[in-house]
Amino acid sequence: MPLVGVDVSSHSVKLVELGVGGKTAMRLERYAIEPIERGAIVEGVIEKPEVVAEALSRALRRVSASTKDVALALPSRAVITKRITLAAGLTEEEYEFQVESEASQYIPFPIDEVNLDFQILGPSANTPDEVDVLLAASRKEKVDERVAVAEMAGLKPVIVDVESYASRAAISHVSDFLPNRGEGQIVAVVLVGDQLTLVTILLNGQTIFEREQGFGGVQLTQDIVRLYGLSFEEAEQKKRTGDLPDSFHQDLLQPFVALGAADITRALQFFHTSTPFTRVDQIFLAGGSAVVPGLCEAVAARTQVATELVNPFQGMEIADSIRERQLRIDAPSLLVAAGLAMRRFEP
């Protein structure tokens, strides 16, 4: 069944549609990135749903998606997750009852105010007659506001995921191209966003560490506004096109890149001191601000770890209508949308 992955972030809507490839398992059929008016989404809360829905509609018109069915994602901070252990061999209804009973212990608001979901991860490592279960809960209003925006744009939400899990699905695909398909590799995914940087460290597909750093692309935009007297929108545009005075590189870009590399290095140092692990084998930079010139090289030099901009479409066929040069620039910011679109291929 065709499915479009829709990632709604603080400053843009991103769409990805994947299809079945002829020579590869997946093919990138179409994608779009459409800016959202500043202030429409504040700290993950949709303040102006009509504005966000209009941006989503513009993106849809640009790509002419083949379906109205979409997968959405909630910000990780809007979701409570907990790994629990339950008896093996229960029916679906029995698991639902057990999960709801367990969830009431961990959720700080009434159970009838939340959307609750769970996934059976597999047999428990400690007890053979038990299974590990991941439960996820979010306030209904958080889910409803994203569903409402999609419906205003004429779409039908069929999946609501979590941004961090969608990212992990895309990284799992990319890891297949690492030595030994990534088995035994400690992989750091650094999502450089507008306001924050989320560092997630994975081993064999499981998260072993997660940390937010107060570093984001908006800092560079604000510096451009302050130094060159531009509006915020003009600064964002010129930051992307590079249409800035010669002094920009030395006065603003270099300090920003150095700050980002230092922040990411600090997160890795915290990982080493707070876990038994003493190494990281690979860093993938993702997010719209990851493509800032020089950041990838600065992180590699500072951490002494192999670092690259992530491409969630690695090894896929690419539709003829997509300009591959532009895709290379856009790909790191499409990690979540790509992971959502990959839900089409799950059993």
Q: Do domains 78-141 and 178-310 have the same CATH topology?
A: no
**Rounded Cα–Cα distance for residues 20 and 2 (Å):** 9
pLDDT of residue 33: 95
Residue 241 has pLDDT above 80, yes or no: no
pLDDT of residue 6: 97
Q: In the chain, which ranges are continuous DSSP H helix?
A: 49-63, 92-106, 140-152, 163-175, 218-228, 232-241, 248, 254-274, 295-303, 324-330, 335-341
pLDDT-derived band at 89 (thresholds 50, 70, 90) equals confident
Residue 1 has pLDDT above 80, yes or no: no
Lowest pLDDT segment from 17-21, 210-214, 277-281: 210-214
For the residues 285-311, what does the mean pLDDT come to?
95
pTM attached to this predicted model: 0.90
For the residues 22-37, what does the mean pLDDT come to?
94
pLDDT in tens, 136-170: 889 999 999 999 999 999 999 999 999 988 999 99
For the residues 284-310, what does the mean pLDDT come to?
95
Joined tokens for residue 6: 């829709």
Q: Which CATH superfamily does the domain covering 178-310 fall into?
A: ATPase, nucleotide binding domain (3.30.420.40)
Cβ–Cβ < 8 Å for 56, 153:
yes
Q: In percent, how much of the chain has pLDDT > 70?
A: 100
Strands, DSSP E only, in 275-314? 282-286, 307-309
DSSP codes, 114-142: EEEEEEEEEE-SS-TTEEEEEEEEEEHHH
**Rounded Cα–Cα distance for residues 239 and 93 (Å):** 53
Joined tokens for residue 233: 């929108």
Structure-model confidence comparison of residues 44 and 316, the more confident one: 316
Residue 30: left if φ>0, alpha if ψ -120 to 50, beta else—which one? beta
Lowest pLDDT segment from 44-53, 59-68, 123-132, 337-346: 123-132
**Rounded Cα–Cα distance for residues 151 and 211 (Å):** 33
DSSP codes, 196-251: -EEEEEEETTEEEEEEEES--THHHHHHHHHHH---HHHHHHHHHHT-S-TTHIII
pLDDT of residue 295: 95
**Rounded Cα–Cα distance for residues 182 and 204 (Å):** 7
pLDDT of residue 266: 96
Pick the CATH number of 78-141 from 3.50.50.60, 3.30.1490.300, 3.30.559.10, 3.40.50.300: 3.30.1490.300
Mean pLDDT for the chain?
A: 91
pLDDT in tens, 191-207: 998 888 999 999 988 88
Residue 182 has pLDDT above 80, yes or no: yes
pLDDT of residue 305: 97
* Domains of the chain by residue range: 78-141, 178-310
Cβ–Cβ < 8 Å for 200, 167:
yes
**Rounded Cα–Cα distance for residues 203 and 187 (Å):** 6
Residue 128 CA, distance from chain mean position? 34
Residue 88: exposure state from Cβ atoms within 10 A (0-12, 13-18, ≥19)? middle
**Rounded Cα–Cα distance for residues 300 and 291 (Å):** 14
